[in-house]
Amino acid sequence: MIYRLTHRTTYCYETEVSFSQDEARLRPRGGARQTCLEWELSFDPAPCYREERRDAFGNHVHYLEFDTPHRRLEVLARSLVQTKPTPAFEVAALPWEAVRNGFACNIPSAHEALPFLWPTSMTPDLPSLSKLLDSLFLPEQPLLEAALALCHRIHQSFCYDPAATTVSTPLSRVLEDRRGVCQDFAHLMVAALRHMGLAARYVSGYLETLPPPGMPRLVGADASHAWVSVWCPPLGWVDIDPTNDCLVGERHIVTAWGRDYADVSPWKGLVLGGGAQSVQVSVDTEPQA
């Protein structure tokens, strides 16, 4: 698949902003499953300083400074991305206990997964995770099979409700209310896998949404998406989408990954002035012929 992505973010401030420093993680990653063919990032007003680097996880990061006084900032990211379907797995993942014990033995193949093994403030090791994991991760069960069973349980047990949570809602509240959005379900699955001694990373990106039969696509109706990548030797990293109860495929487009949402936030920064603010986000994921 080839997709034309348009991600527009507009900040409106109550009073004038005199200066801001910001980070943007909006450029899609490259890799075996996808290629970023074109990329453009524009602003209104324009920044006085702009630099692109890679962060500790290999994500593209733009560091920006704005010194033009403004009460409105528009950020527009455009890209053209080619994706490939997930190949069929020719071998089975190791039993989950063997992978967990491999971390304990510090085997070389586990080194790249170690940063994604520990709890974070957004993926804490909660006692209530044990109830979610009850009767899962059976003895000698292949890790991928166990992870997909966990994915299915989250999808069946939790209700997708955009009004139920915000970006700062704690995971304990999500577990209690059984409601949330893709960010919450990704954090939940990451925390559960780490609770079992397994490495998992939080993945941010986009998903092509399909309209109901007979209805046209709504431009700008798509949104950022989040899912999970679990370390499954000898398969490597395998991406799983608990919101949609599936393995990630060619309709998923990766922007960044990290330990949790805080590592991959599309936009964050410090503002001098501005007062109260409102944010509008519009994302369009358009398949190309």
102-123 pLDDT, tens digit per residue, is 876 555 567 789 999 999 999 9
Decide if 61 contacts 55 (C-beta within 8 A).
yes
| 162 found inside a domain | yes
Q: Is the pLDDT of residue 65 over 90?
A: yes
Using a 10 angstrom Cβ sphere, with 0-12 exposed, 13-18 middle and 19 or more buried, the burial of residue 69 is exposed
Q: Based on the domain organization, do 102 and 235 belong to the same domain?
A: yes
Find the radius of gyration of the CA atoms of the chain.
Answer: 20
Write down the pLDDT at residue 217: 63
- Our count of domains for the chain comes to 2
Indicate whether 102 and 243 sit together in one domain: yes
pLDDT of residue 179 exceeding 80, the answer is yes
Q: Are residues 244 and 121 in the same domain?
A: yes
Which pLDDT value is given to residue 158? 96
- What does the pLDDT read at residue 212? 67
What is the model's pLDDT at position 167? 87
Arithmetic mean of pLDDT over the chain: 92
Q: Is residue 89 part of a domain?
A: no
Let me know whether 201 and 277 are in one domain: no
Question: Residue 259: pLDDT above 90?
Answer: yes
| Sign, Cα dihedral of 70, 167, 243, 234 | positive
Domain of residue 15: give its range: 2-84+265-287
Average pLDDT for residues 243-252, to the nearest whole number? 92
Angle between helices 182-195 and 143-157 (to 10 degrees): 140
- As a whole-number percent, the residues of the chain with pLDDT over 70 amount to 94
Least confident of 95-99, 133-137, 215-219: 215-219
Burial class (CB in 10 A: 0-12, 13-18, 19+), 191: buried
More confident residue, 54 or 107: 54
* pTM for this entry: 0.93
Residue 206 has a pLDDT of: 93
Residue 239 lies in a domain: yes
pLDDT for residue 105: 59
